[in-house]
């Protein structure tokens, strides 16, 4: 009985022990998981807290890098030709550093020489005086830049020079003669020459009486950095003499050609040349039946032969447009120029044609077109000068060119309006004298074209534009602002 009961209880006892073991394991596991969860929750809370804060090492203000100070610009004109290296050594550079800048200069320009009269600007560090950059005007059109990037690294580049158009007004009273007074106020030589040409038939500048009042407006082009200035031409002039007043106004006619006109619209200055050069004598005249010294036959000679030394300058006898510039068969190198009234002038046997002269170019009276030579069928240095009128050859010694420029009736009202605007400006210039810079570009006036741009590359100012108001400020005197001016093209002779 007892044995049977004991055998029955063993399975139940074993089951109870297994269940108790599982219960103990589960309790222990639950306790350990609870501790791990608390640990993970604490870590997560630390990460959350840290996410909203910046560590002290990043809390300070960022360091500010100060820009390099602006360099000191030293601009000057080369007073005499010299090598780049010697120039820079004189400017304070060591021989080794000067040689590096010079070598780069030579690679960029194929020369190591700074030409006399050219502009150069040195940009130096204001703190230690080291050279940062060089700008050198290769010519009136192109500038070379050399720049250092530290550690001996130099780079060069070339760029076109851009110019701003700046009208300038001048007023002075003669005290010691025109030449002396013009030099005293630094009146540009091209403006003096233009005045002499304009008024040569009315008065000699050298004989203007003391006390004469001179007032001028001319145009100049200034590079953006101010290192280069070029005079483009005269726009208006007024010279008051005892008992009369001389005036000149630049204006483009209906053909687009610029001239200086007086108050009545008559062109001023020389409008034609009797001969295109200074020659020694006429070796052959105009003939329909002349014996040719080379071909040994009688044939027409459609011009005159003017004997002169080889290389003598040959000039256009009147304003016109180039019809041909090149080889003309028996005439060798020649130039043909079309003029008003169906006239064509011919210049043959040239040794050279003026640089850059091409068909379609406009030329002014007295402008160089070539040089005397003996090209083509020629026995010696001379100029063959011929004239055609309406397609027929005419005798240059007997023909009157008949060039007489004046404002056309169709342009008269525009000319009068511009003239009055110029006179308004001139009247406001003080008689005591001064040299004045007009603050904004004068716009040329011609309804057929657009307004002048504020900046341009080198070359003559040739825009036509609308009327515009500008203000001028003095360089050497104090005067009130005035309302100006409508302009036309400037003229330089």
Question: What is the structure's pLDDT at 464?
Answer: 29
Q: For 131-151, what is each residue's pLDDT tens digit? A: 999 999 988 889 999 999 888
Q: Report the share of the chain in percent with pLDDT over 70.
A: 72
Average pLDDT over residues 411-416: 91
pLDDT at 345 over 80: yes
Tokens, residue 391: 């397609």
Q: What is the pLDDT of residue 399?
A: 82
User: What is the average pLDDT across 358-371?
Assistant: 92
Pair 381, 307: CB distance under 8 Å = yes
Count Cβ atoms below 10 Å from residue 316 Cβ, excluding itself.
Answer: 25
Query: End-to-end CA distance of the chain, in Å?
Result: 153
Nearest to 445 by CA among 485, 395, 390, 396: 485
Q: How far apart are CA 327 and CA 71, in angstroms?
A: 55
What whole-number distance in Å separates Cα of residue 220 and Cα of residue 239?
A: 21
Instruction: At 337, give phi and psi (nearest 5°).
Output: -125, 130
Give the pLDDT confidence of 181-201 residue by residue, as tens digits. 888 888 999 999 999 888 887
pLDDT at 231: 87
The pLDDT confidence band at residue 10, using thresholds 50, 70 and 90, is low
For the chain, which domains are there?
Answer: 72-160 (3.10.450.350), 164-262+409-474 (3.10.450.350), 281-394 (2.70.70.10)
pLDDT value at residue 365:
87
Across 399-405, average pLDDT: 73
Contact 164, 222 (CB under 8 A): yes
Query: Alpha-carbon distance 29 to 22, whole Å?
Result: 10
Q: How far apart are CA 276 and CA 283, in angstroms?
A: 16
Question: What's the pLDDT band for 462 if we cut at 50, 70, 90?
Answer: very low
Question: What DSSP assignment string belongs to 300-337?
Answer: EE-SEEEE--TT-EEE-SBSEEEEEEEE-GGG-EEEEE
Q: Whose CA is closest to 440, among 94, 169, 146, 123?
A: 169
**Which of the residue ranges 255-259, 356-360, 489-493 would you say has the lowest mean pLDDT?**
489-493
Is residue 323 predicted with pLDDT exceeding 90? yes
Four-point Cα dihedral 37, 41, 42, 44, nearest 10: 140
Residues in CB range of 356: below 8 A, 6 or more apart:
none
In the chain, the percentage of residues whose pLDDT exceeds 90 is 29
Sign of CA dihedral 432, 435, 439, 444: positive
- Band (pLDDT 50/70/90 cuts) for residue 436 is low
Give the range with max mean pLDDT: 62-66, 178-182, 240-244, 346-350: 346-350
Question: Which range is least confidently modeled, 170-184, 204-218, 286-300, 426-440?
Answer: 426-440
Report the distance separating Cα 346 and Cα 326, nearest Å.
12
DSSP 229-275: EEEEEEEEEEEEETTEEEEEEEEE-TTS-EEEE-TTSBBPS--B-SS
H or E stretch at 71: none
**Which of 8 and 209 is assigned the larger pLDDT?**
209
User: What tens digit of pLDDT does each residue of 277-288 get?
Assistant: 999 988 888 887
294: CB partners within 8 A, 6+ apart: 377, 378, 379
**Long-range contacts of residues 41-47, Cβ cutoff 8 Å, at least 24 apart:** none
Position 192 scores a pLDDT of 92
pTM beyond 0.75, yes or no = no
The pLDDT tens digits of the residues spanning 98-132 come to: 999 999 999 998 998 999 888 899 999 888 888 99
């Amino acid at each position: 009985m007892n044995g049977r009961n004991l055998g029955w209880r063993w399975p139940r006892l074993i089951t109870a022990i297994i269940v108790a073991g599982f219960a103990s394991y589960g309790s222990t596991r639950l306790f350990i998981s609870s501790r791990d969860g608390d640990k993970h929750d604490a870590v997560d809370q630390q990460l959350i807290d840290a996410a909203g804060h910046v560590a002290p090492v990043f809390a300070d203000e960022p360091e500010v890098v100060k820009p390099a100070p602006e360099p000191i610009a030293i601009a000057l004109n080369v007073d005499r030709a010299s090598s780049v290296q010697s120039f820079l050594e004189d400017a304070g550079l060591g021989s080794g550093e000067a040689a590096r800048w010079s070598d780069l200069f030579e690679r960029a320009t194929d020369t190591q020489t700074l030409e006399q009269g050219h502009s150069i600007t040195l940009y130096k560090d204001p703190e230690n005086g080291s050279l940062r950059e060089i700008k050198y005007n290769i010519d009136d059109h192109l500038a070379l830049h050399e720049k250092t990037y530290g550690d001996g690294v130099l780079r060069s580049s070339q760029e076109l020079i851009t110019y701003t158009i700046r009208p300038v007004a001048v007023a002075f009273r003669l005290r010691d003669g025109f030449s002396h007074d013009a030099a005293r106020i630094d009146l540009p030589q091209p403006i003096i020459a233009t005045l002499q040409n304009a008024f040569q038939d009315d008065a000699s500048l050298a004989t203007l009486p003391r006390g004469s009042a001179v007032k001028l407006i001319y145009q100049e082009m200034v590079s953006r950095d101010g290192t280069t200035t070029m005079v483009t031409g005269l726009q208006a002039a007024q010279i008051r003499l005892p008992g009369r007043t001389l005036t000149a106004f630049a204006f483009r006619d209906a053909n687009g050609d610029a001239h200086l006109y007086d108050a009545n619209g008559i062109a001023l200055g020389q409008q034609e040349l009797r001969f295109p050069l200074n020659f020694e004598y006429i070796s052959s005249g105009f003939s329909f039946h002349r014996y040719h010294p080379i071909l040994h036959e009688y044939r027409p000679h459609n011009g005159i032969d003017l004997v002169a030394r080889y290389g003598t300058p040959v000039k256009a006898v009147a304003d016109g447009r180039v019809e041909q510039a090149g080889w003309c068969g028996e005439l060798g190198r020649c130039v043909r120029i079309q003029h008003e009234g169906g006239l064509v002038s011919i210049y043959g046997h040239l040794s050279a044609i003026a640089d850059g002269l091409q068909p379609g170019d406009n030329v002014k009276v007295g402008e160089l077109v070539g040089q005397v030579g003996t090209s083509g069928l020629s026995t010696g240095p001379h100029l063959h000068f011929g004239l055609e009128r309406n397609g027929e050859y005419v005798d240059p010694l007997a023909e009157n060119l008949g060039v007489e420029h004046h404002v056309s009736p169709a342009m008269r009202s525009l000319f009068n309006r511009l003239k009055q605007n110029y006179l308004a400006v001139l009247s406001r210039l003080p008689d005591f004298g001064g040299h004045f810079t007009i603050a904004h570009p004068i716009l040329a006036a011609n309804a057929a074209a657009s307004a002048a741009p504020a900046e341009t590359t080198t070359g003559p100012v040739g825009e036509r534009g609308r009327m515009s108001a500008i203000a001028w400020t003095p360089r050497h005197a104090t005067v009130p602002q005035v309302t100006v001016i409508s302009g036309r093209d400037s003229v330089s002779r």
